[in-house]
């Protein structure tokens, strides 16, 4: 599975924050998805893309658990 998180260039993070966020996300995602590859980078807009998740779970209303990692209280 590949997880790509993009952060808007228009609202840059303080120095060192991108590395700290990347490290924390790696720790939290690796607990549930050891095979996942995480990429965190600046782009034109905020976003998250999850590729290669569990193919057995399909449907318009299915949300991948990796998408919810960023919504937990520790990120606020």
Q: Encode pLDDT of 32-48 as tens digits.
A: 888 889 999 889 999 99
Q: Where are the domains of the chain?
A: 2-68
Residue 58 has, within 13 A of its CA and on its CB side, a CA count of: 3
3-state secondary structure 40-66: EEEECCCEEEEECCCCCCCCCCCCCHH
Task: Give the CATH H-level superfamily of domain 2-68.
Answer: DinI-like (3.30.910.10)
Residue 9 has, within 13 A of its CA and on its CB side, a CA count of: 3
pLDDT exceeds 50 at position 16: yes
Distances in Å between the alpha carbon of 24 and those of 19, 43, 54, 56, 58?
9, 20, 23, 28, 29
To the question of pTM greater than 0.85 for the whole model, the response is no
């Amino acid at each position: 599975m590949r997880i790509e998180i993009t952060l808007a260039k228009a609202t840059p993070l303080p120095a060192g924050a991108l590395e700290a966020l990347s490290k924390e996300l790696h720790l939290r995602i690796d607990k549930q998805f050891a095979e996942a590859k995480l990429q965190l980078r600046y782009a034109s807009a905020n976003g998250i893309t999850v590729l290669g998740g569990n193919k057995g779970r399909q449907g318009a209303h299915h949300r991948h658990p990796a998408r919810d990692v960023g919504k937990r209280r520790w990120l606020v």
